[in-house]
């Protein structure tokens, strides 16, 4: 027998486990779907500390910054790489949050003519890979003086930063702690809960 999500039905116990084990990660995923009310909140909210995976065939952004920083958790601060993008589009976006045998998977923007759109995007991450092309990049800039993404906060004075007018990343693979945006338009969105392995983005 299969449940409404197309995976084997394991009874109500799995749903109770999901509520306990995946409650916080689900909130993180919800943040991706709905964004935050203001870009000013992007650097200041407390994160769960639970990482999630995000992939896209292509990301195009105008107004790009990158710098090292910290993220607030209930247990204190954790180090993270931060990337800010003023306006971004993502094609074939996938995000997964794993909690034990359960994987919450969100997909959107599969049609290249109708990509995901985001404004005031800020990502706190531990890993990023892909093929990147930058336009008018400044490498080694004081992180406290970064400005091209239009966001209100950046890195500490005298710390390393870089920024560019434009960034294009293909085959994006990212492990992140947080994603926030003033607007996040997920076109053709689907959200599914999977039981078992093999359902993560990568």
Tell me the pLDDT tens digit for each residue of 127-150.
Answer: 999 999 999 999 999 999 999 999
pLDDT, position 14: 47
How many Å separate Cα 165 from the centre of its chain?
21
pLDDT, position 198: 76
Domain ranges of the chain: 12-195
Tokens of 83: 């990337």
pLDDT, position 35: 38
Strand-pairing partners, residue 54, are 95, 174
Residue 164 and residue 65: Cα distance in Å, rounded? 7
- Measuring CA to CA, which residue among 197, 187, 33, 178 is closest to residue 99? 197
- Regions of the chain where pLDDT drops below 50: 1-43
Q: Are 25 and 99 in contact (CB under 8 A)?
A: yes
Residue 194 and residue 8: Cα distance in Å, rounded? 9
pLDDT, position 27: 41
List Cβ neighbours of 149 (8 Å cut-off, separation of 6 or more).
63, 64, 65, 84, 85, 86, 120, 121, 122, 163
Any idea what DSSP says for residue 93? Answer: E
pLDDT, position 189: 97
Note the helical H segments in 56-139: none
pLDDT, position 50: 93
CA angle 113, 170, 116 (to 5 degrees): 35
pLDDT, position 100: 87
Phi then psi for residue 130, to 5 deg, are: 150, -175
Q: DSSP secondary structure string, 114-131? A: S-EEEEEEEEEEEEEEEE
pLDDT, position 44: 57
How many Å separate Cα 194 from the centre of its chain?
20
List Cβ neighbours of 105 (8 Å cut-off, separation of 6 or more).
94, 95, 96, 191, 192, 193, 194, 199, 200, 201
- Measuring CA to CA, which residue among 128, 117, 58, 53 is closest to residue 91? 58
By residue count, the chain amounts to 202
pLDDT, position 46: 87
């Amino acid at each position: 027998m299969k449940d409404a999500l197309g995976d084997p039905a394991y009874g109500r116990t799995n749903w109770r486990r999901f509520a306990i084990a995946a409650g916080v990660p689900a909130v993180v995923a919800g943040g991706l779907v709905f964004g935050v009310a203001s870009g000013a909140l992007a650097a200041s909210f407390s994160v769960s500390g639970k990482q999630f995976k995000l992939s896209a065939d292509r990301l195009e952004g105008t107004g790009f910054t990158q710098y090292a920083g910290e993220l607030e958790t209930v247990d204190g601060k954790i180090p993270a790489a931060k990337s800010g993008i003023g306006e971004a589009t993502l094609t074939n976006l996938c995000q997964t949050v794993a909690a034990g045998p359960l994987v919450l998977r969100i997909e959107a923007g599969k049609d290249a003519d109708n990509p995901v759109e985001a404004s005031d995007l800020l990502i706190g991450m531990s890993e990023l890979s892909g093929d990147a092309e930058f336009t008018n990049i400044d490498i080694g800039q004081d992180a406290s003086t970064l400005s091209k993404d239009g966001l209100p906060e950046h890195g500490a004075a005298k710390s390393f930063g870089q920024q560019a007018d434009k960034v294009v990343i293909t085959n994006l693979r990212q492990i992140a702690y947080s994603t926030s945006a003033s607007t996040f338009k997920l076109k053709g969105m689907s959200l599914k809960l999977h039981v078992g392995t093999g359902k993560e983005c990568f």
